[in-house]
Amino acid sequence: MKPWTARASRFNGCMSRFMKVVNILLCYGQSECWDNFHRKLVSGNSTFNVSVVNSFRELVRQTENVCNDVILLDWEMPGKSPQVHIDFVVRTCPNSKLIVLTTDPRLEYLARQTDVNVFSLTRENIGDLMSIVRNEVNLSVG
């Protein structure tokens, strides 16, 4: 190994100790689009610690002891009504950044009535959502 390579890797190791790991809770039903987003979120990203829940019951259990930095909540997640899900997250984890997601553009209007951040997720705009998550992370860390 060249000396400059060894120094660079030691530097990167030191920097990784100072990087904050961001805890993300991904709450969604069953959809190929969600699975693709989840894979993209965790692939090659050591600063994100991603947990997944697929129902309201799991969401309650997950947030009993710890609230994540960012919560991505599917408008159509099974369990209760979307408004009950949102109210629960806002009440239980007031410091978490909440983004409500929908894969159905027809439901986006309803989701926007909740006064929280809303994103309409499609296969084509997964990269845009990644940028929004990074932005929310930067706001919560900074």
Domain harbouring 100, CATH code: 3.40.50.2300
Q: Which domain holds residue 75?
A: 20-141
For residue 46, being part of any structural domain is answered with: yes
> How many domains does the chain divide into?
1
Partners of 100 in the β-ladder? 73, 118
pLDDT digit string (tens) for the chain, length 142 residues: 434 334 433 444 444 455 678 888 999 876 666 777 788 777 866 678 889 999 999 999 999 888 999 999 988 888 898 889 999 999 999 999 888 888 777 777 777 777 777 777 766 677 787 777 777 777 555 4
For residue 122, being part of any structural domain is answered with: yes
For residue 11, being part of any structural domain is answered with: no
Cα separation, 40 vs 7, in Å, equals: 30
* β-strand pairing of 117-120 with 70-74: unpaired
For the entire predicted model, the pTM comes to 0.76
Cα separation, 104 vs 120, in Å, equals: 7
Question: What is the number of other CB atoms lying within 10 angstroms of the CB of residue 89?
Answer: 22
For residue 6, being part of any structural domain is answered with: no
For residue 39, being part of any structural domain is answered with: yes
